Amino acid sequence: ASRLGILGGGQLGRMFAHAAQAMGYQVAVLEPEAACPAAQVAEHHVQLAYDDEQGLALLSRLAPRVTTEFENVPADSLKLLATGGFVAPAAACVSIAQDRLAEKHFFTRCGLHTGVYPAPHWGIASEEDLNSVKDDLLPGILKTTRMGYDGKGQVRVRNREELHTAYALMQGHCVLEKMLPLAYEVSVLVARGVDGEAVVYPIAENVHRDGILFTTLAPSPNVSPEVARQAQKAALDIIAELGYVGVLCIEFFVLTDGSIVVNEMAPRPHNSGHYTMDACDTSQFEQQVRALAQLPLGSVRQHSAAAMLNILGDVWFDGERQREPAWDKILAIPGAHLHLYGKAEARRARKMGHVTFVASSMELARANLRSACVILGIAAPESA
């Protein structure tokens, strides 16, 4: 069988491997950690660093087509792999998504034809930049330009004094964003093939808890048809402008006045797209396989309403004791699809799995998600 390669061995790599294997591919993973979720299921595990030249050469020899599941993979590694095979998404696209300021410049450029812009912002790399911050960017959020995720690497600042303190602690390159009045948050998953054919999934609505994605409802129950169309069109324009190949997820804010703002993008399948595995004709992982293998993209039709609940390590903890959650009770809920990532150790705030409830209506899917929260002993989201 022909082989597909992947940089990164986390749960996204594992679910990609499952989809690839279902379609007859073998999978090779480059990942320095031994017992990672993807290496448990892949046929080949190159256990070296993402920038190890020998590791990259080995991966290249094992798999002529390579993708990434980790957005902070060194862009140079993707470039190197592209000299010997097909790499999607390309290093240039991943580089933009790795740098918030480059990403915002790119979104601003796209805004000229999508009409959707990023939050007002200002890049800060020096004291001089810091002192030229305009008043109307405060209160704001100071974010590191690189490596931030799950709300890490960002600080909310109410005034100049807090901004100076925060910048002194963060160091390096940052971007200050104006704090916007969010009504709710949505994300749009798009995919594009080498031939330029692109597809867009239904819009998903996301609730975070402590900076980590908590639930996704799809299709978004709050979004109006016009806003959904606008976000989907912006996502299609963005993926075309990038010349991107593969699955891309773009986060948007819906503001209290009903307008939308583009926040950030992830150059890979995304946690908010996990619902596609159980609720759409083609999952985001199968779509990534199709794009990478240069096969036709699959239908993005959603056949069931879906409510996805992330399962964090916290639910293993009962005070000091650790115990396996009651999966039998979760699976007794109609339409429950449990996905566990095979992580050996449960740690608080660690993504261990997710469960998606599919149903004939969003009301039912949400009610089932709420029942699961009761079983797991976690507070249900107010909006779900």
Q: How far is the CB of 108 from Mg ion (least distance, A)?
A: 18
151 binds ligand ATP (CB under 6 A): yes
Near Mg ion in 250-279, by CB under 5 A: 251, 264
SS3 (DSSP) at 139: coil
Q: How far is the CB of 221 from ligand ATP (least distance, A)?
A: 18
Strands (DSSP E) contained in 135-279 are 140-144, 154-157, 174-178, 182-192, 198-200, 204-209, 212-218, 246-255, 260-266
Near ligand ATP in 208-267, by CB under 6 A: 208, 251, 263-264
Q: How far is the CB of 310 from Mg ion (least distance, A)?
A: 14
How many angstroms separate the Cα of 262 from the Cα of each of 97, 237, 254, 301, 315? 13, 12, 9, 24, 33
Tell which one of 31, 69, 103, 185 touches ligand ATP (CB under 6 A). 185
Q: Which stretch binds ligand ATP (CB under 6 A): 33-41, 177-185, 293-301, 343-351?
A: 177-185
Q: How far is the CB of 276 from ligand ATP (least distance, A)?
A: 17
Tell which one of 46, 91, 119, 166 touches ligand ATP (CB under 6 A). 119
Number of residues engaging Mg ion in binding (CB under 5 A):
2
**Residue closer to ligand ATP, measured from CB, 9 or 148:** 148
Please work out, in degrees rounded to the nearest 5, the angle formed at the alpha carbon of residue 265 by the alpha carbons of 112 and 268: 135
Tell me if 187 sits within 8 A of 249, measured CB to CB: yes
**Residue closer to Mg ion, measured from CB, 271 or 302:** 271
Q: How far is the CB of 374 from Mg ion (least distance, A)?
A: 28
Structure tokens belonging to residue 86: 């097909």
Dihedral sign of CA atoms 130, 134, 139, 142 in order: negative
Near ligand ATP in 305-344, by CB under 6 A: none
**Residue closer to ligand ATP, measured from CB, 80 or 137:** 137
Alpha-carbon gap, residue 234 to 117, rounded angstroms: 10
Q: What is the DSSP string of 358-370?
A: EESSHHHHHHHHH
b vs e for 114-142, b when ≥16 Cβ sit within 10 Å of the residue's Cβ?
bebbbbebbbbeeeebbeebeeebbebbb
**Residue closer to ligand ATP, measured from CB, 179 or 364:** 179
Tell which one of 8, 37, 89, 148 touches ligand ATP (CB under 6 A). 148
182 binds ligand ATP (CB under 6 A): yes
Q: What are phi and psi of 165, to 5 degrees?
A: -60, -45
- Residue 279 is inside which H or E element, if any? helix 276-279
Structure tokens belonging to residue 288: 């990534």
Phi-psi region of 148 (alpha: psi -120 to 50; beta: other; left: phi over 0): beta
**Residue closer to ligand ATP, measured from CB, 265 or 376:** 265
127 binds ligand ATP (CB under 6 A): no
Q: Which stretch binds ligand ATP (CB under 6 A): 150-158, 167-175, 299-307, 356-364?
A: 150-158
Give the residues lining the site for Mg ion (CB under 5 A): 251, 264
Give the residues lining the site for ligand ATP (CB under 6 A): 119, 141, 148-152, 177-180, 182, 185, 208, 251, 263-264
